[in-house]
Amino acid sequence: MNWPTWLPIRKDLQTLTPYGAPQVLADATLNTNENPYSPSPKLIQAISDAVFNVASTLNRYPDRDATALRVGLADYINGQNSTIFSMENIWVANGSNEIIQSLFLAFGDKGALGFTPSYSMHPLIAKVSRTQWVEGSRNDDYSLNVDTAVNQILEHKPSLTFITTPNNPTGGAVKVTDIEKLADAVKIVGGLLVVDEAYAEFSSERSAATLVKSNPHVVVIRTMSKAFAFAGARVGYLISDACIVDAMLLVRLPYHLSALTQAAACVALDFKDELLGYVDTLISARQKLVQELHELGLTCIESSANFILFTGFKSPAPKLWRELLDKGVLIRDVGLEGYLRVTIGNEAENKLFITALRDLV
Ligand SMILES: *Cc1c(COP(=O)(O)O)cnc(C)c1O
């Protein structure tokens, strides 16, 4: 970006490019790991009723502490993991990206470490919040090497260490016993281990939320954008020791989460069985798609999420990406040479994808 010379933009921002997954119309939108199933008529009605009720109070600021929603999220997490969290252990914001930003603002002093390739927003939000980012490494097959990761933690002594499980864009999950080893290393260097579990509901691995009570330096990030099929509402949250939530209160903007968002998200939690009902469908569809990609001679990294990173095609990734888009199929070029990522869509979208791909590889 060529900024005008008169613009006093911060020096460290001048070379950055904004997050920009293409938002273009396509017959099959399989590029941002959204849930393809839209809300049912019953849920739409319930959200409308809740928003109707809140509308009469919109002259007032919302509940700054999002009490009802945090209580609901604690119940949801406790129900899934047999934990005993209360609202003091939950913070909620406009998407987990805002949670990540707050973590950098509160704890970024001694830098942050992540293991690449992983979620591209972790380093970007780090840079924007002036947190030094250290790029750690993975195995050649993109799995996390726990021993190497531990050594990198001990070497760099970051105040924040990020792991994503299941990892985006590769899809593999980290065993909770391995997360414990990382947590031990993080404890030695006096930092926090941030476990981004954006895709946890798709994985059979135990949640790191079960570690929080005995490891207060473990912070788990969740979102309603993926399995919960609620990306448009922008709701992300963290599960942690209460003192970490107290630090979030310092850096959050006043009344950050709108009354409309809070009301809609509470309804979504009431409909959790319906919203999460598609998780099994998506997992089966993922297994079918992996099989079909194999039949096309392609290789997939094993995924515990709602997307697949695949390789083995002959054209360069940007070229194949473009050719698929010309056929109405939007997937994701995550910037890994020779790889593309496809989100699991509904049956019709997956079929479109495979049909289009068959003509191109
Ligand atoms: C999609 C995603 C998020 C979600 O962000 P929201 O702001 O909650 O929509 C967070 N982390 C990872 C790894 C993701 O893939």
What confidence score (pLDDT) does residue 309 get? 98
What confidence score (pLDDT) does residue 20 get? 77
Tell me, using a 6 A CB cutoff, whether residue 101 lines ligand 1: no
Residues 6+ apart with CB under 8 A from 166: 172, 173, 199, 200, 202, 203, 205, 303, 304, 305
What confidence score (pLDDT) does residue 304 get? 98
CA distances from 37 to 49, 232, 307, 331 (A): 21, 13, 15, 17
**206: DSSP letter:** P
What confidence score (pLDDT) does residue 33 get? 97
Atom nearest to 225 CA in ligand 1? 9
Which of the four pLDDT bands, split at 50, 70 and 90, describes residue 206?
very high
Give residue-wise pLDDT tens across range 8-20: 999 989 888 888 7
Atom nearest to 231 CA in ligand 1? 9
Give the residue, by CA position, lying nearest to ligand 1 atom 7.
Answer: 95
What confidence score (pLDDT) does residue 4 get? 94
Give the residue, by CA position, lying nearest to ligand 1 atom 14.
Answer: 198
Tell me, using a 6 A CB cutoff, whether residue 343 lines ligand 1: no
Scanning 93-226, the segments in alpha helix (DSSP H) are 96-107, 121-128, 146-156, 176-188
Read off the tokens for 252.
Answer: 């959050």
Q: Give this prediction's pTM.
A: 0.97
What confidence score (pLDDT) does residue 22 get? 83
Give the residue, by CA position, lying nearest to ligand 1 atom 6.
Answer: 95
Tell me, using a 6 A CB cutoff, whether residue 225 lines ligand 1: yes
CA 28/CA 329 separation, integer angstroms:
5
Atom nearest to 98 CA in ligand 1? 7
Give residue-wise pLDDT tens across range 165-195: 999 999 999 999 999 999 999 999 999 999 9
Tell me, using a 6 A CB cutoff, whether residue 118 lines ligand 1: no
CA distances from 68 to 31, 54, 93, 203, 222 (A): 33, 14, 13, 27, 17
Give the type of residue at 251: V
| Helix, coil or strand: residue 333 | coil
Tell me, using a 6 A CB cutoff, whether residue 168 lines ligand 1: yes
Atom nearest to 32 CA in ligand 1? 1
CB atoms within 10 A of CB 265: 26
Atom nearest to 119 CA in ligand 1? 13
CA 100/CA 293 separation, integer angstroms:
34
pLDDT at 21 over 80: no
Give the residue, by CA position, lying nearest to ligand 1 atom 12.
Answer: 198
Tell me, using a 6 A CB cutoff, whether residue 198 lines ligand 1: yes
What confidence score (pLDDT) does residue 82 get? 95
CA 103/CA 148 separation, integer angstroms:
24
Mutation probe of ligand 1 site: the residue of 225, 307, 309 with most atoms within 8 A of C-beta: 225
| Ligand 1 center from residue 56 Cα (angstroms) | 32
Distance in angstroms between the alpha carbons of the first and the last residue of the chain? 35
**Which domains occur in the chain, in start order?**
21-39+274-358 (3.90.1150.10), 42-270 (3.40.640.10)
Mutation probe of ligand 1 site: the residue of 23, 92, 94, 96 with most atoms within 8 A of C-beta: 96
Tell me, using a 6 A CB cutoff, whether residue 223 lines ligand 1: yes
Average pLDDT of the chain to the nearest whole number: 97
What confidence score (pLDDT) does residue 18 get? 86
